[in-house]
Amino acid sequence: MKIVVIGAQWGDEGKGKIVDYLANEAQIIVRFSGGANAGHTIVIGGEEYALHLIPSGVFYPDKIVILGAGMVIDPVALFSELEMLNGRGIDTTGRVFISDRAHIVLPRYIQIDKERDAARKKPIGTTGRGIGITYSMKSDRDGIRIADLGWKEKMDELEAVDREFLVPYIDRLKKMSIDLSSYLVHHRNSQVLFEGAQGTLLDLDLGTYPYVSSGMSNAAGAAIGGCIGPRAIDKVLGVFKAYSTRVGNGPLPTEFDGDTEEGAGTESVLDNFVRNTGREFGVTTGRPRRCGYLDLVSLRYACLTNSIDSLVMTHLDVYDTLDEIKACIAYKAGGRIIENFPASVEDLNNAKPVLRSFSGWKKKLSGALTYEEFPVQAMEYIEFIERYCETPIGIVSVGYDRKETIIRKRPWSK
Ligand code: IMP
Ligand code: MG
């Protein structure tokens, strides 16, 4: 069976924890997009780990983890991550591979990324990891892939600084390189988990362009970046938080209250509360994340554009102490009600959320072992989202630990 896990918002939905959880029953975990711009926090037995490039499944000693063709790999970041893991007792020998079609991030691209974003009239607020430049070089057909390393003609074409940078990495990268498509055909009976990075609203095509990343973070990207056909995918899981967050610039329609005339345009009361309770600070850059109410307009859009079979809700415990919870069920802009997620950044910037109110449960959710033990108010919130999105919520996460995960429908079943 092949399962794809993607982010259904602006990244940081808690995919790392869910992939780690699902990896238990997988043999192979393939990350299909992005690069060291991503940041996953995983807590295992009280120990906290931050990963940027290597799939979260690496913590199981018997799993194969693969960096897919849709990724952009910074060798410095990759080897420092491997060193960190090995230093903390996680043996990665012989089980971390890279698709030979993956592109390489050069130090020069990182520099250009930072300079270009700073020079923009309205910076995107990139993570400064050279991601957009590497994908541009790839699109412009001037990129360098793992498969090209050591090929004399290609190496001669490179600028001297780039060549000098790459030479010490060639053997190490080559040793990890595989033909991913043949590898997966050979392991056709394995359970494979395809791990996305960022989220639907940061996808280059489907996201809030130009305030997006440059990779394919949607489910279709799993087919291309994972070197399989789209029909080989059995199931798509979309991870979302009980609220919305965003790092960097660009529209976040539920960041501001919009339900009352007085409230319109004021920062949501939720912002500081959620940031501190949910520890909403970037793993890669340390930047405070912008926080807002759950945006169901964009969540439904994510369900449709990714063919999400089942949603995974995370961080619901952040709401444990609130009297009232709100979620956005439509946008209001210039007297119009908008129910479909617009492409136009101008529309999104003008959109005021139409908020629906729910009662809080005022109880610690992490005490529950099954969904049936949840307070009725939490169930009402969850089941409203399911009806709105016409998609079931199969897993609810109520804490950072592996144990704090409520399974309503077993993911590795058809
Ligand atoms: P880039 O991917 O570094 O080019 O950044 C483009 C935009 O995507 C910026 O707003 C980043 O903050 C955002 N971004 C990139 N990767 C992630 C991620 O893993 N989580 C959340 N936001 C991200
Ligand atoms: Mg993250």
DSSP state letter for 104: E
- 7 in contact with ligand 1, CB cutoff 6 A: no
Residue whose CA is at the smallest distance from ligand 1 atom 2: 213
* In-domain check, residue 159: no
Determine if ligand 1 sits within 6 Å of the CB of residue 33.
Answer: no
> Measuring CA to CA, which residue among 17, 13, 39, 3 is closest to residue 284?
39
- Specify the 3-state DSSP secondary structure of 282: coil
Residue owning tokens 């950072």:
400
User: Is it the case that residue 167 has pLDDT exceeding 80?
Assistant: yes
- pLDDT above 70 as % of the chain: 97
Give the per-residue pLDDT at 148: 97
Structure confidence at residue 265 (pLDDT): 53
Whether the predicted pLDDT of 380 surpasses 70 = yes
Pocket perturbation via mutation, ligand 1, pick of 127, 195, 255, 345 by most ligand atoms within 8 A of CB = 127
Q: What is the pLDDT of residue 231?
A: 96
Q: Using CA atoms, how far apart are residues 279 and 317, in angstroms rounded to an integer?
A: 12
Does residue 102 fall inside a structural domain?
A: no
Residue 337 token pair:
């009600």
- Mean pLDDT for the stretch of residues 75-94: 96
pLDDT of residue 263: 46
In the residue annotation, 186 being an active-site residue is answered as no
Segment 119-131 shows an average pLDDT of: 97
Decide: 200 in ligand 1 pocket, CB within 6 A.
no
Q: Is the CB of 125 under 6 A from ligand 1?
A: yes
Instruction: State the catalytic residue, choosing from 20, 40, 257, 315.
Output: 40
pLDDT in tens, 235-289: 999 999 999 999 999 999 999 876 544 444 566 667 888 988 989 998 888 899 9
Is the CB–ligand 1 distance for residue 57 below 6 Å?
no
* 184, part of any domain: no
CA-CA distance, 323 to 309, in Å (whole number)? 31
Query: Could you tell me the pLDDT band of residue 20, with boundaries at 50, 70 and 90?
Result: confident
Q: Residue 396 domain-assigned?
A: yes
With a cut of 50, say whether residue 31 has pLDDT above it: yes
The alpha carbon of 36 and the centre of ligand 1 are apart by a number of angstroms equal to: 10
Confidence of residue 168 (pLDDT cuts 50, 70, 90): very high
Per-residue pLDDT tens over the stretch 306-323: 999 999 999 999 999 999
Active-site residue 40, yes or no? yes
Instruction: Tokens for 249, please give them.
Output: 């610039």
- The total number of structural domains that make up the chain: 1
Residue 159 has pLDDT above 90, yes or no: yes
CB 240 within 8 A of CB 201: no
> For the chain, what is the mean pLDDT?
94
Task: Report the predicted TM-score, pTM, of the whole model to 2 decimal places.
Answer: 0.96
Asked if residue 229 is part of any domain, the answer here is: no
In eight-state DSSP terms, residue 141 is T
Give the residue numbers spanning the domain of 314: 240-407
pLDDT tens digit sequence for 197-236: 999 999 999 999 999 999 999 999 999 999 999 999 999 9
> Is 288 a pocket residue for ligand 1 (Cβ < 6 Å)?
no
Answer whether 316's CB lies under 8 Å from 396's CB.
Answer: yes
Closest protein CA for atom 21 of ligand 1: 11
State the Cα–Cα distance between residues 204 and 209, nearest whole angstrom. Answer: 7
Q: How far is the CA of 223 from the centre of ligand 1 (A)?
A: 22
What is the DSSP secondary-structure string of 221-234?
HHHHHTTS-GGG--
Nearest to 388 by CA among 258, 278, 199, 240: 240
Q: Which of 12, 113, 117, 317 is catalytic?
A: 12
Q: Is residue 320 part of a domain?
A: yes
The reported pLDDT for the residue numbered 414 is: 81
Q: pLDDT (tens digit, 9 = 90+) per residue, 274-297?
A: 988 989 998 888 899 999 999 999
Number of other residues whose CB lies within 10 A of the CB of residue 344: 13
CA distance 54 to 318: 28
Rounded CA-CA distance 280/295 in Å is: 17
State residue 262's pLDDT score. 44
Would you state the structure tokens that stand for residue 150, as one six-digit string?
A: 């050591």
Residue 329 placed within a domain: yes
- Residue 242 · residue 319 · CB < 8 Å: yes
Ligand nearest to the CA of 217: 1
Task: Please report the atom of ligand 1 found closest to the CA of residue 127.
Answer: 3
Q: Which residues neighbour 66 within 8 Å (Cβ) at sequence distance 6 or greater?
A: 28, 29, 30, 31, 55, 96, 97, 98, 99, 178, 180, 183
List the structure tokens of 187: 């392991």
> 12, 72, 126, 137: which to mutate for ligand 1, most atoms within 8 A of CB?
126
250 lies in some domain: yes
CATH of the domain at 393: 3.90.170.10
- Residue 37 CA to ligand 1 center (angstroms) comes to 6
Q: What is the pLDDT of residue 266?
A: 60
Please tell me the number of the ligand nearest to residue 246's CA: 1
12 CB under 6 A from ligand 1? yes
- Please tell me the distance between residue 314's alpha carbon and the centre of ligand 2 in angstroms: 13
Q: How confident is the model at residue 360 (pLDDT cuts 50, 70, 90)?
A: very high
